[in-house]
Amino acid sequence: MIEVKNLHKAFDGDEVLKGISSRFEKGKTNLIIGRSGSGKTVLLKSILGLYDVDSGEIWYNDLNFTETNERDRKKLRQEIGMVFQGGALFDSISVEENVRFPLDMFTTMTYGEKQNRVEFCLDHVNIEKKAFKLNPSEISGGMQKRVAIARAIALNPKYLFCDEPNSGLDPETATVIDKLIQSLTKEFQMTTIINTHDMNSVIEIGESVLFISNGEKEWVGTKNEILNSENKKLNDFIFANKLYAQLKKGEK
Amino acid sequence: MGFFFHVGRYFLMLKRVFAKPEKHKMYIKQLFHEIDNLGVNSVGIVVIISIFIGGIMTIQYAYSMANPLYPTTLIGLGTRDTLLLEFSSTILALILAGKIGSNITSEIGTMRVTEQIDSLEIMGVNSTSYLILPKVIAVVFIFPFLYILSVFFGLLGGLVTGSLAGVITMQQYLEGIQWLFIPYYVTFSIIKMFVFGFLVASVPAYFGYYVHGGALEVGKASTKAVVNTNILILFFDLILTRLLLT
């Protein structure tokens, strides 16, 4: 479980996070949604410690992350997997070396054990063996995202973060990625936080949805509740796409 | 204020660069990769430039000393001392700042804008140390070898060009390059190469590591890195020459 309490963050006097509090449950796909520039990425990067918050608390289970020293943070980070918007795979090494990298860096496993783990992770995200030796630039965007997910789960993390994991993907591949993240979350009982503005993802895997607007928490609920919400800002966000307006009315 | 901000941040970066590595084996693997990428891959350009400059200098010395009162051995001596003291150290470092420096800035800068550095940090890797330390050690290690290579091929270029152009015989040239040889010049230049190697790796790494934006900013950072490295090389050349040679 991850909990944030009253988070504030400003850049050059411009307040991006204005006292956000929320709880992200274990074994669930927790989505953060909002318009571009609403503060989603800043919130995610603050939870990860890539930005130091101005005030507020971030709790990883019983650990107050905002009060930990650099050494403890490093330790915690080995329990975190992250899937970046662009994949962020290391482009000078192959697909399997990318997945093996955290194992090489942080474990004392033998080469054979590491290779087994790499194959296990890549197999879980449906990457064929023939792609193992290719460089990231030689595979498609969807495959890059799946390799990024494989690398994120290599160390068997407790927490998984995804920043717009299906941006730039076709709807079919995007759904595959969404389902994959959800199934891995259930299988490995991770606390997963996904940053997105894709309503298809919300409807597919939004077990817990946090809607933020202009740096403030506007609404929290589930995918089943979201279409019937009375929150005006949320409705403006969702029903910008007419398909969801039709869904609300029960039209096909 | 901007100058002090950059100097301060550069030294803070260096503090992180020399922190204890997470896993020595991974750093050593990276070090060998960088020696090959930054050092061995620079041998070709060093050899070509040194041969040409050695040849050109020999012809120019012969031209400016076309006086029967000057001994012909001065041509070889002039070529040798210029190579030993300035060309194969300072000028070579300026050239390599362009090649190696822009390579380092664009590589690290691209990793920054594509979030690969964030990815390392989230894994718990000290990205500053992992990305920069092997480059610094590799360049500092390889620079003295490149200096020796440059002197050798520069002298060879002078020998071949001088005799082919008919401005000096091989015998006279070989006598000249051995005449009044001061071994300390080599020691002095190797000390300079250690300093220049550190600058050529660390300054461009700084500009790449702190780049913000996209491809355009990476390009601008590369240019800034090369310009600043060149200025620093000349500045330290002046300081070291004053301290060690006079």
Nearest to B122 among A80, A89, A90 (CB): A80
Q: Of A178, A171, A182, which Cα lies nearest the Cα of A243?
A: A171
CA distance linking residue A214 with residue A34, whole number of Å: 9
Band of the pLDDT at A249, cuts 50, 70, 90?
Answer: low
The 3-class secondary structure across chain B, one letter per residue, is: CHHHHHHHHHHHHHHHHCCCCCCHHHHHHHHHHHHHHHHHHHHHHHHHHHHHHHHHHHHHHHHHCCCCCCCCHHHHHHHHHHHHHHHHHHHHHHHHHHHHHHHHHHHHHHHHHCCHHHHHHHHCCCHHHHHHHHHHHHHHHHHHHHHHHHHHHHHHHHHHHHHHHCCCCHHHHHHHHHCCCCCHHHHHHHHHHHHHHHHHHHHHHHHHHCCCCCHHHHHHHHHHHHHHHHHHHHHHHHHHHHHHHC
Distance CA A122, CA A132 (A): 8
Same domain, A187 and A245: yes
Q: Is B213 left (phi over 0), alpha (psi -120 to 50) or beta?
A: left
Q: What pairing do the DSSP bridges indicate for beta strands A63-64 and A55-60?
A: antiparallel
pLDDT of residue B81: 95
Nearest CB to A82 within list B26, B111, B119: B119
Q: Are residues A168 and A243 in the same domain?
A: yes
Number of domains in chain A: 2
pLDDT of residue B234: 97
Radius of gyration (C-alpha) of chain A in whole angstroms: 19
Q: What is the pLDDT of residues B6-25, one digit of tens each?
A: 999 999 999 999 998 888 99
CA-based nearest residue in chain A for residue B22: A105
pLDDT in tens, A165-182: 888 788 888 888 898 899
Rounded mean pLDDT, B50-69: 92
What's residue A248's pLDDT?
63
Does residue A106 sit in the same domain as residue A174? no
Percent of chain A scoring above 70 in pLDDT: 95
Mean pLDDT score across all residues of chain B: 94
B171 CB within 8 Å of a chain A CB: no
Going B213 to B215 to B216 to B217, the CA torsion angle's sign is positive
Give domain status of residue B104, yes or no. Answer: yes
DSSP A158: S
| A135 shares a domain with A105 | yes
Check residue A217 and give its pLDDT: 93
Q: Is residue A85 part of a domain?
A: no
**A160 token code pair:** 């998984």
Any CB–CB contact under 8 A between B24 and chain A? no
Residues of A in contact with B25 (CB under 8 A): 104
Same domain, A204 and A151: no
On whether the CB atoms of residues A212 and A43 are closer than 8 A, the answer is yes
Write down the pLDDT at residue A252.
Answer: 44
A75/B116 Cβ within 8 A: no
Backbone phi, then psi, for A15, in 5-degree steps?
A: -75, 120
A30 plus A145 within the same structural domain: no
pLDDT band at A164 (very low <50, low <70, confident <90, very high): confident
Q: Check B116 against A82: CB less than 8 A apart.
A: no
pLDDT in tens, A35-51: 888 899 899 999 998 89
Residue-by-residue DSSP string for A95-139: HHHHHHHHHHHH----HHHHHHHHHHHHHHTT--GGGTTS-GGGS
Lowest mean pLDDT among A150-154, A236-240, B27-31, B147-151: A236-240
Domain encompassing residue B144: 23-245
Domain termination site, one of A102, A129, A156: A156
What is the predicted pLDDT for the residue at A245?
A: 63
Tell me phi and psi for residue B182, to 5 degrees. -115, 105
Among B22, B23, B115, the residue with its CB nearest the CB of A88 is: B115
> Based on the structure, what is the number of domains in chain B?
1
**Domain membership flag for residue A105:** yes
pLDDT digits (tens, 9 = 90+) for A140-153: 988 998 999 999 99
The ipTM assigned to this model is: 0.85
Q: Which residues of B182-217 are buried (b: 16+ CB within 10 A; e: fewer)?
A: eeebbebbeebbebbbbbbbbbbbbbbbebeeeeee
Are residues A186 and A72 located together in one domain of the fold?
A: yes
Q: Which of A101, A122, A156 is the last residue of a domain?
A: A156
Q: Is A189 helix (H, G, I), strand (E, B) or coil?
A: coil
**One domain, residues A112 and A222:** no
Domain annotation covers residue A84: no
Residues A141 and A195 in one domain: no
How sure is the predictor about B207, in pLDDT bands with cuts at 50, 70 and 90?
Answer: very high
Chain A interface residues (partner B, CB cutoff 8 A): 45, 48, 50, 73-78, 80, 82, 84-86, 88-91, 101-102, 104-106, 161
Q: Taking a C-beta distance cutoff of 8 angstroms, is the pair A24, A191 a contact?
A: yes
Mean pLDDT of B97-105: 96
Chain CA centroid to CA B88, Å:
9
For chains A and B, count residue pairs whose Cβ atoms are closer than 8 Å: 51
Task: State whether B115 and A75 contact (CB < 8 Å).
Answer: no
- DSSP conformational letter for A250: T
**Residue B18 located in a structural domain:** no
Q: How many Cα atoms within 13 Å fall on the side-chain side of residue A176?
A: 15
Domain boundary among A156, A173, A192: A156
What pLDDT, in 10s, does the model give residues A55-109?
999 999 999 999 998 888 888 988 999 998 888 999 989 999 999 999 999 999 9
> What residues in B contact A104, CB-CB < 8 Å?
23, 25-26
Q: Is the pLDDT of residue B87 over 90?
A: yes
Contact A80 B23 (CB under 8 A): no
Which chain B residue shows the shortest CA-CA distance from A72?
B124
pLDDT band at residue A233 using 50, 70 and 90 as cut-offs: confident
State both tokens at B194. Answer: 């250690």
H helices of chain A, where? 40-48, 70-77, 95-106, 111-124, 141-153, 171-188, 199-205, 223-226, 232-238, 242-249
Of A50, A76, A86, the CB nearest to B121: A50
Instruction: Write phi, then psi, for A109 (nearest 5 degrees).
Output: -65, 155
Query: CA-nearest residue of chain B to A76?
Result: B124
- B36: contact with A, CB 8 A cutoff: no
Q: Identify the weakest region by mean pLDDT among A135-139, A143-147, A234-238.
A: A234-238
* Residue B151 to residues A40, A79, B119, B199, Cα–Cα distance (Å): 58, 53, 43, 21
Whether B6 is covered by a domain: the verdict is no
Query: Rounded to whole angstroms, how far apart are CA atoms B138 and B40?
Result: 10
- How many of the other CB atoms lie within 10 Å of CB of B78? 20
Environment class of residue B155 by beta-carbon count within 10 Å: exposed (0-12), middle (13-18) or buried (19+)?
buried
Task: Please check whether residue B165 is in contact with residue B95, taking contact to mean a CB–CB distance below 8 angstroms.
Answer: no
Rounded CA-CA distance B119/B135 in Å is 20
Tell me if B11 is assigned to some domain: no
Does some domain include residue A124? yes
Share of chain B above pLDDT 90, in %: 90
- A30 and A140 co-located in one domain: no
Q: CA-CA distances (angstroms) from residue B199 to B103, B186, B194, B228?
A: 14, 20, 9, 10
- Domain assignment present for A114: yes
A128: containing domain: 90-156
Residue A33 lies in a domain: yes
- Taking alpha carbons only, the member of B113, B134, B28, B119 closest to residue A102 is B119
In this structure, the answer to whether residues A193 and A230 fall within a common structural domain is yes
> In this structure, is residue B12 part of a structural domain?
no
Q: Which residues of A touch B115 (CB under 8 A)?
A: 84-86, 88
Smallest CA-to-CA distance from A220 within A17, A20, A16, A18 is with A20
Using a CB-CB distance cutoff of 8 angstroms, which residues of chain B are in contact with residue A156? none
Does some domain include residue B9? no
Which of B15, B122, B130 to probe by mutation at the A interface, max A CB count within 10 Å? B122
- Report yes or no: B123 at the A interface, CB cutoff 8 Å: yes
In 3D space, the residue among B138, B119, B135 whose CA is nearest the CA of residue B127 turns out to be B119
Q: Which residue, A102, A112, A113, is CA-closest to A157?
A: A102
What is the model's pLDDT at position A71?
83
CATH of the domain at A209: 3.40.50.300
Verify that A128 and A241 share a domain, yes or no: no
Give me the pLDDT at residue A226, please: 86
User: Which residue type, as a one-letter code, is found at position B51?
Assistant: I
